[in-house]
Amino acid sequence: MTEAAATPGRNMTDEIAQQPAVFADLLAGRDVIGEVAAHIAKRRPRFALLAARGSSDHAALYAKYLIEVLLGLPAGLASPSTTTLYGAQPDLTDVLLVSVSQSGGSPDLLEVTESGRKGGALTVAVTNTADSPLNAAAELSVDIRAGRERAVAATKTYSATLLALYLLIDAVRGGTGANAQPIPDLAASTLEAGQGAVDDAVRRYRFAERMVTTGRGYSLATAAEAALKLAETSYLSARPFSGADLLHGPVAAVDAETAVLALCSNGRGGDAMREVLDVVHDRGADVCAIGSAASDVRASHRIPVPDCAEELAPVLEVLPVQRLALGLALARGFDPDNPRGLRKVTRTR
């Protein structure tokens, strides 16, 4: 047995730490992403669909916001089961279909991509495996360049997917990726400076039985990813909600026994979270605010994140989320590298 295999969480710990270098490498290869973007811009799609599963589905949700806000195109999340279970073959003429899969080996996404291409879509695969079946099926492909990920829980592949999607969509609109240039250094700062606040949060929430994760705008994707990470590594009952949706019914279940993980980065999404956190704080919930605007909201505990362009905040704010999931898993006596009953590749059809 290797040292990494014998030490609980060793792989996840190492892969979280690798992210600043992964981001730097991805930025160094942005010209290749720019070539894919040029093909997309030339085709002038009228609509965008995003197909994904698991953590990649949260990355797709992030891309949905980017496409609608930065490109001004309507975008939606595809339902793979309409193809794989019901055999639907919609007319996708002039539609951009982006399939997001870290492994590139998901059979249902492969089927969706093949069907979409036959239906007239411009298909783009975003993966961490350049020779994957999904890349072969799509007309265009983007390699997120994260390197092999050994831990079952996605960390560096998730954040690299976010950055790759940003660089792709920014390039489609004619951008140069300038806002992303500081991201490697900001990521290193996030990991170095924020560890103490994360450790405090681990001690605070070690015995939590249920948690709500919430965010608005671009950060909604991080809220969804946070709930998944906590559930798959710590077996914690965690539910994600948009801040807006949380106030329309689910807030009735929030009380002093509820821990609330709130993503609050500077920008319109973070501003919209203020009212939400006022309400849940008044209901007695223990609120942990994560983000560049964490100091500006009502919270019981705060994990600050460096400021950046709002559309890039999810790349940074997910880093302490990953550290928190890792720390809680270890504190509860679990090995996040080997979560019960989980595997790396989603085989759902």
pLDDT at 78: 93
pLDDT at 349: 57
pLDDT at 91: 94
Most confidently modeled range among 82-91, 116-125, 253-262 = 116-125
The rounded distance, in Å, linking the Cα atoms of 146 and 246 is: 34
Confirm if 99 and 122 have CB atoms less than 8 A apart: no
Residue type, 84: T
- Model confidence band, residue 339 (pLDDT cutoffs 50, 70, 90): confident
Residue 324: both structure tokens together: 């928190």
Question: Beta strand pairing status for 210-215 and 259-263?
Answer: parallel
pLDDT tens digits, 16-31: 999 999 999 999 999 9
In the chain, pLDDT over 90 holds for what percent of residues? 88
Confirm if 327 and 195 have CB atoms less than 8 A apart: no
Query: What does the CA dihedral 290, 292, 297, 300 come to, rounded to 10 degrees?
Result: 40
Confirm if 51 and 80 have CB atoms less than 8 A apart: yes
Confirm if 217 and 189 have CB atoms less than 8 A apart: no
The rounded distance, in Å, linking the Cα atoms of 321 and 327 is: 10
Residue type, 280: V
Domain ranges in the chain are 3-180, 183-331
Helix %, strand %, coil % for the chain, to 5?
A: 50, 15, 35
Residue 131 CB contacts under 8 Å (≥ 6 apart), including other chains: none
pLDDT tens digits, 187-221: 999 999 889 999 999 999 999 988 999 999 999 99
The rounded distance, in Å, linking the Cα atoms of 160 and 142 is: 11
pLDDT at 248: 87
pLDDT at 6: 73
pLDDT at 209: 85
State the average pLDDT for the chain: 94
Confirm if 204 and 176 have CB atoms less than 8 A apart: no
Q: How far is residue 320 CA from its own chain's centroid?
A: 13
pLDDT at 343: 56
The rounded distance, in Å, linking the Cα atoms of 102 and 161 is: 8
Closest by CA position to 269, among listed 213, 218, 214: 218
DSSP class of residue 86 equals T
pLDDT at 1: 44
Class of domain 3-180: alpha beta
- Four-way CATH pick for 183-331: 3.40.50.10490, 3.40.718.10, 3.40.50.720, 3.20.20.70: 3.40.50.10490
Closest by CA position to 100, among listed 112, 82, 118: 112
* pLDDT tops 50 at residue 252: yes
pLDDT at 344: 56
pLDDT at 148: 94
- Model confidence band, residue 341 (pLDDT cutoffs 50, 70, 90): low
The rounded distance, in Å, linking the Cα atoms of 150 and 169 is: 28
HSE of 311, CA atoms in CB hemisphere, 13 A: 20
Residue type, 29: G
* pLDDT tops 80 at residue 302: yes
Residue 79: both structure tokens together: 């339902």
pTM for this predicted structure: 0.94
* pLDDT tops 60 at residue 81: yes
pLDDT at 194: 84
* pLDDT tops 70 at residue 4: no
* pLDDT tops 50 at residue 283: yes
The rounded distance, in Å, linking the Cα atoms of 33 and 142 is: 6
Structural Rg of the chain based on CA atoms: 19
Same fold, 3-180 and 183-331: yes
Weakest mean pLDDT among 84-88, 313-317, 325-329: 84-88
- B/e letters for 157-184, b = 16+ CB within 10 Å, e = fewer, are bbbbbbbbbbbbbbbbeebebeebebbb
pLDDT tens digits, 149-165: 999 999 999 999 999 99
